[in-house]
Amino acid sequence: MIGNYKMNKKLLQKHIQNYQQEKADNSEQFQEDWSERQEHIAKYQGYDQEKIRSMDGEDLYEYISPLWAMQIWGNKRYVTDNLVEDNGLEYLKEELVELLWSNKPIEGRWDRFRKNIKGMGPAMISEILCKTHPNKYIVWNRRAEVGLNYLGVDGLPKYDYQLDGEKYKELCEIEKDIAQELRKAGFEDDSMLMVDYFIWHELQVEEVLANSGKKSQSDAEEESLEDDASDFIHNDIRDKIRNIGQWLGFNANIERRIAAGSQVDTVWESTIGNMGRVIYVFEVQTKGSIDSLIVNLLKSLNNPAVQGVVAVSDRKQLEKIKDHAEGVTGLRDKLKLWDYKEVLDVHENLEYVNESINQLDLVPDGF
């Protein structure tokens, strides 16, 4: 036990010793890694409040595109353009300033940013935080989850929507303890960015990586979105549906007015030969009236280009949606149901595929 949480300290020490030996055997590589970390930190610490507020669209691209979290995207400019379109450049900049430079507790700043800004998930947000304040905040992504899981840390967030500000603060404290152990072992760089490199180099055990996408019995138990109190679970699922559409080659957008009286969460659009424009509509149901969802989807079908409508929710609510739609002429034949857990799993798998392919650099950025 380290701190007030469970961790296999013996296993941690074993890998710290391995890392020490690796440093002795490959001192040149460790020096390159150290220089790389300093470059990352210098770049993002250079964006103070004034510089962030002065950014234009091109500056935002230069700020966002080098992030590791952006490796899942081939066309990074498309992502930054969407950030501006969905949030407004001025609003996005002000929220970045609040996230990075406010003196308020990190848990509140994290939750505010997640709630207010569309299109930026925990991996991207935490990376910016870590590279701006490397002694305070951690990078949180799939690899970090795999590493801490391997060390026996319990209560880790499996899905992005589970990572609220309180949980992020807790994870930062856990990795600070790892940094302390690295410092005791003689590593001079004990920043959270150094811990991230350690996790990547030492704690990506093949068996854990292979099982990271598999659900435990507790994960597989039915969860109701109605019971989840987080403000951003709806937006997280909405954004992931857009990402899936983009990766599949659709022109995908969020919060679009598709017909009179109908604004929907996500739209996939494509032009297919003689069929012309084809649109698929997605509505995410977390809480609220199912009747309102049914009416909204029915109105969206007034757009002749809409070929299908998809309701996304947990199994319990999907059954209710199906029952409500049975008696609605014109909707029941075009309504599809998608479990939100399947959305999250599909997104995770496509994210891995895209990251792997993009690392080959087969397609120039912006193509």
State pLDDT tens for residues 76-128.
998 999 999 999 999 999 999 999 999 999 999 999 999 999 999 999 999 99
- Whole-number Cα distances in Å, 255 to 197, 283, 308: 37, 10, 17
- Residue 80 CA to residue 120 CA, distance in Å, equals 10
User: Which tokens belong to 302?
Assistant: 């007034």
Q: In what order do the strands lie in the sheet with 306-313?
A: 251-259, 262-272, 276-284, 306-313, 335-339
- Domain end position, chosen among 174, 203, 221: 221
Q: What is residue 337's three-state secondary structure?
A: strand
- pLDDT (0 to 100) of residue 74: 84
Q: Which two tokens mark 263?
A: 């604004």
Dihedral sign computed on CA atoms, order 128, 131, 136, 138: positive
The answer to the question of residue 61 being in a domain is yes
- Report whether 278 contacts 269 (CB < 8 A): yes
Given a contact cutoff of 8 angstroms between Cβ atoms, the answer to whether 167 and 7 are in contact is no
On whether the CB atoms of residues 140 and 124 are closer than 8 A, the answer is no
Tokens of 101: 């430079």
Angstrom distance (rounded) from CA 97 to CA 92: 9
**120, 86: one domain:** yes
Task: Tell me what pLDDT residue 1 has.
Answer: 45
β-bridge mates for residue 262, sequence order: 259
How many structural domains is the chain composed of?
2
Q: Using one digit for the tens of pLDDT, what is the confidence trace for 56-65?
A: 999 999 999 9
148 and 268, same domain (yes or no): no
Among residues 191, 221, 251, the one where a domain terminates is 221
Residue 107, token pair as written in the block: 């848990």
Same domain membership, residue 121 and residue 19: yes
Indicate whether 84 belongs to any domain.
Answer: yes
pLDDT in tens, 168-225: 999 999 999 999 999 999 999 999 999 999 999 999 875 555 555 555 444 444 566 6
Q: Examine the domain organization and report whether 111 and 245 are in the same domain.
A: no
Find out whether 76 and 70 touch, Cβ atoms under 8 Å.
Answer: yes
Question: Which range of residues forms the domain containing residue 346?
Answer: 227-351
Are 217 and 231 in a shared domain?
Answer: no
Does residue 1 fall inside a structural domain? Answer: no
Residue 251 to residue 271: CA distance in whole angstroms = 9
Question: For the purposes of burial, counting CB atoms within 10 Å of the CB of 230, is it exposed (0-12), middle (13-18) or buried (19 or more)?
Answer: middle
Strand-strand pairing, 251-259 and 262-272: antiparallel
